[in-house]
Amino acid sequence: MNFVKRLSGKNFFVFNLVLLGILFGFVLALSCTKGGNRAQAQENPSVVIPQDALSAAENLQTAFRAISDKVLPSVVELKTVSVRRQQVPNFNGIPWEFFFGDPNNGEGREREFRSQGLGSGIIVRKANGGNSKTFTYYVLTNNHVVGDANEISIALNDGTEYPAELIGKDERKDLAMVSFQCSDDLPLAVLGDSDTVMVGDWAIAIGNPLGFMSSMTMGIVSAVGRTGGPAGNINDFIQTDTSINQGNSGGALVNIRGEVIGINTWIASSSGGGSVGLGFAIPINNAKRSIDEFIDNGEISYGWLGVSLTDPDRDTLQGLNLSGKRGALVSQMFLGSPAEKGGIQPGDFITALNGKEVRGMNQLTLMVGDLKPGERVSFSLIRDGVQRNIDVRIETRSNEVAAENSKLWPGVYVIPITDAIRQSLKLDSKIEGLYVGQVISRSPAAVVGVTRQDIITAINGERVRDIASFYRIMREKAGREIWFDVQRGDSTLETPKYKR
């Protein structure tokens, strides 16, 4: 108010003249500066971008634009709502609502809790809908995206939303499928061949990170065949430095041709969940058979061999004369399983399946899981230093059978005694045998009383000197019954006999 008053009447007119003068001077100075810059640019031309380099960059830019146009319409946003009902608690007989509203309701009332989720998905199939004017579209995503959702909806690239229905889900591969109906003719994602992906290839992630729809990020393939990740997941992941964040799960990882090579699934991060360039995608070849199974059966079926596998450490490999070899060790076998019927035994080191190299436990688990029940396959393995091939007829995996520990033979994981183990247990240098790292509950070894940190010194009365002799004796001496001699502390014990 005071400032306005001071600038009234004559003073206000003078002020305007001064202000116009200042503005005119500023514009004139700016004009001179720009003119000077132009003159300087003419006198000292900047470095010219080489035309061939510029053309290459523009061609690459054109490729990325084309990828965006090709893939974005087939990647959707998934929105989920999970409803949970919980009993209303009370405090010393006073209902919760007395403190937080609606005090007239009595105790014992249930409240409804709704939690929302967000992810991505890929349109992979189309079928005629309920009438000639609609189509049914099938969307592939992650199991952890849909979770236990009670409500699912999808949003297209243009923001249009449709209610969706869960078709099926699978925890082991972290895959799920939903469907929705739409009258528009939508494009399907083009699925590539993830077996041809190599380190250094372009990798483009398309999805909805943190709710920012239809986002596209670019990087390279950092590694292939990565294992680990979420517990229980059996995939061998593609690793990429492409920026992937929460909400990208279930979205597409595509190559420079716009073909889907993976399903973005998880990230490794030390920053509380933010992208640090360690993203992982399920190879699309791991999911191709699952697409048809979800649509036809609502679930994924797995082939079953009936063994428990390990990736042996260096000492175990050396003890089995397998140093430098790649494969997976059969540490346990299910009694009555396809493996036992075919002739596979504990201690066998599997190196190939149908001629394809086995690099480790997780890869072999995935390979066997993708086999069709009833299919007859050939395993290449090493037993007692001898290479051999064994044919096995695969059966259907049952979660109940796979969890039946009483049929795991022998039910004990052993490793060679190292200097560190000998020092830790204060073992006499003369004691030979195998260190018990784990005993499977309800298995034969557990039933007869073998415990963790025991030293197995004999099987069925024959001395166990190293891990090679452990598995040899298991095959030759423990056909229908088994018992162990163990060193436990300062005591030597013989377990009861276990008969199959």
In a domain, 65, yes or no: no
Average pLDDT on 472-480 reads 89
Task: Return the residue matching tokens 């306005």.
Answer: 4
Collect all residues with Cβ–Cβ distance below 8 Å to 494 and sequence separation of at least 6. Answer: 483, 484, 485, 486
User: Tokens standing for 152?
Assistant: 């699912």
Q: Which residue has the higher pLDDT, 3 or 285?
A: 285
Of the candidates 270, 268, 229, 260, the one whose C-alpha atom is nearest the C-alpha of residue 143 is 229
Q: Which residue has the higher pLDDT, 2 or 203?
A: 203
pLDDT at 21: 54
pLDDT at 333: 94
Considering the entire predicted model, what is its pTM?
Answer: 0.79
Tell me which of 120, 194, 214, 249 is the catalytic residue.
249
Asked whether residue 453 falls in the same domain as residue 355, the answer is no
In a domain, 384, yes or no: yes
pLDDT at 11: 45
pLDDT at 416: 94
pLDDT digits (tens, 9 = 90+) for 398-414: 877 666 888 999 999 99
Percent residues over pLDDT 90 in the chain? 69
Query: For the chain, how many structural domains are there in total?
Result: 4
In a domain, 494, yes or no: yes
Give the integer Cα–Cα distance in Å for 408 and 399: 14
pLDDT at 249: 95
Bridge partners, 237 (sequence order): 226
Q: Which residue has the higher pLDDT, 280 or 11?
A: 280
Asked whether residue 233 falls in the same domain as residue 314, the answer is no
Average pLDDT on 194-214 reads 95
Instruction: Look at residues 387, 403, 419 and tell me which one is the last residue of a structural domain.
Output: 403
Q: What is the DSSP letter of 45?
A: P
pLDDT at 402: 60
Asked whether residue 395 falls in the same domain as residue 432, the answer is no
Asked whether residue 336 falls in the same domain as residue 264, the answer is no
In a domain, 4, yes or no: no
Collect all residues with Cβ–Cβ distance below 8 Å to 278 and sequence separation of at least 6. Answer: 222, 239, 241, 267, 268, 269
Domain housing 293 = 194-297
Mean of per-residue pLDDT scores for the chain: 87
Give the integer Cα–Cα distance in Å for 237 and 253: 12
Instruction: Look at residues 297, 332, 353 and tell me which one is the last residue of a structural domain.
Output: 297
Asked whether residue 287 falls in the same domain as residue 323, the answer is no
Q: Which residue has the higher pLDDT, 113 or 22?
A: 113
pLDDT digits (tens, 9 = 90+) for 357-387: 999 998 999 999 989 889 999 999 999 999 9
Instruction: Look at residues 182, 205, 228 and tell me which one is the last residue of a structural domain.
Output: 182
pLDDT above 90 (res 270): no
Tell me which of 120, 144, 243, 348 is the catalytic residue.
144
- Residue 312's CATH number: 2.30.42.10
Lowest mean pLDDT among 46-50, 127-131, 263-267: 127-131
pLDDT at 200: 97
Tell me which of 74, 170, 174, 215 is the catalytic residue.
174
In a domain, 389, yes or no: yes
pLDDT at 100: 57
Write the DSSP string, 342-376.
HT--TT-EEEEETTEEP-SHHHHHHHHHTSPTT-E
Average pLDDT on 300-313 reads 94
pLDDT above 70 (res 396): yes
Asked whether residue 472 falls in the same domain as residue 483, the answer is yes
Lowest mean pLDDT among 62-76, 285-299, 421-435: 421-435
- Residue 203's CATH number: 2.40.10.10
Asked whether residue 278 falls in the same domain as residue 309, the answer is no
Asked whether residue 134 falls in the same domain as residue 212, the answer is no
Asked whether residue 394 falls in the same domain as residue 316, the answer is yes
Establish how many alpha carbons lie within 13 A of residue 52's alpha carbon, considering only the half-sphere containing its beta carbon: 0
Asked whether residue 412 falls in the same domain as residue 371, the answer is no
In a domain, 126, yes or no: yes
Lowest mean pLDDT among 121-130, 346-355, 457-466: 121-130
pLDDT digits (tens, 9 = 90+) for 3-47: 333 333 444 444 444 445 555 554 455 454 555 454 454 554 678
φ and ψ of 465, to 5 deg = -95, -30
Active site residue 144: yes
Asked whether residue 355 falls in the same domain as residue 413, the answer is no
Give the integer Cα–Cα distance in Å for 254 and 265: 14
Question: Predicted confidence band at 96 (pLDDT cuts at 50, 70, 90)?
Answer: low
pLDDT digits (tens, 9 = 90+) for 226-265: 987 787 788 999 999 999 999 999 999 999 999 999 999 9
In a domain, 13, yes or no: no
3-state secondary structure 88-110: CCEECCEECHHHHCCCCCCCCCE
Asked whether residue 278 falls in the same domain as residue 311, the answer is no
Q: By the 8 A CB rule, do 224 and 158 touch? A: no
pLDDT digits (tens, 9 = 90+) for 195-204: 999 999 999 9
pLDDT at 430: 86
In a domain, 213, yes or no: yes
Of the candidates 255, 253, 254, the one whose C-alpha atom is nearest the C-alpha of residue 244 is 253
Q: By the 8 A CB rule, do 152 and 178 touch? A: yes
Give the integer Cα–Cα distance in Å for 175 and 300: 9
Q: What are the start-end ranges of the H helices in 101-255?
A: 143-146
